Structure formats: structure tokens, C-alpha cells
Amino acid sequence: MAFPALVKGVHPDRRTVATGQAGKDPDVIVWDSADCTELQRLPQGYGNRGVTACCFSPDGTKLVCICTDNNHTMYIWDWKKKKVDTLNACRAHALMPVTLFFPFA
């Protein structure tokens, strides 16, 4: 079942984008915006209710995703390898450094 996209993040190459879904078992999908090819699908975990923010690191190798669950679970992905580098619960005050580190938000 497809769920609507809530957010998007733009890669530094300005061609690759990531969209975060709503729903009880959301994914972040990384796309080639030129031809709409799905490059990667990153599961955010059952029960996380959706993705409220996602953005790429300045070098484009990492993708941070923050979910809408009560803990605002944050995933930092090595998205090309489909590997989670960091998984944390965060609070609103933790979002400021993420926004400053990932300027393409």
C-alpha cells in the first residue's frame, strides 16, 4: 500500500531527492528526479507513523530522517549502502544542530 509523501530532501547534486512517507510503516525513498527512478528504499520502522524531516549531508553520503513517533526517532543512513549509521530518540532541541549540519534541508 502506498502512502503519501510528507517531506523531501534534495541531494547536493540537485538531481537526487529523498521523500518521506506517512503511515504506520513508513519508508524514505531516494529518487533520481530526472527520470523518476527509485534508487533506494529505506525503512523507518514499524510504528514510527511517518517521516517529518529528511535531508542529505553536505557531501551527499548520509541522509538524516526524523520520524513522527513520540520519541522523534532519528535515523542517519549511509543511504547507498542501505545501512543505518545512527539510530536515536531525539527531542525538538536536538533538531537545530541537524539543520545546521545539513544545509540542504
Give dist(CA 26, CA 66) in Å, integer. 11
Q: What is the pLDDT of residues 52-84, one digit of tens each?
A: 888 899 999 999 988 888 888 888 999 999 999
CATH architecture of 5-98: Beta Barrel (2.40)
Q: Which contiguous run of DSSP H or E holds residue 48? A: none
**What sign does the dihedral 66-98-32-59 (CA atoms) show?**
negative
Record the pTM.
Answer: 0.79
Output the pLDDT for position 60.
94
Supply angle C-alpha 70, 75, 80, rounded to 5: 150
- Yes or no: say if 72 and 91 are a contact pair by the CB < 8 Å rule: yes
pLDDT of 83 reads 93
* Closest of 2, 86, 10 to residue 54, by C-alpha: 10
Q: Residue 40's CB: how many other CB atoms inside 10 A? A: 17
Which residue ranges make up each domain of the chain? 5-98
What DSSP state is assigned to residue 22?
Answer: B
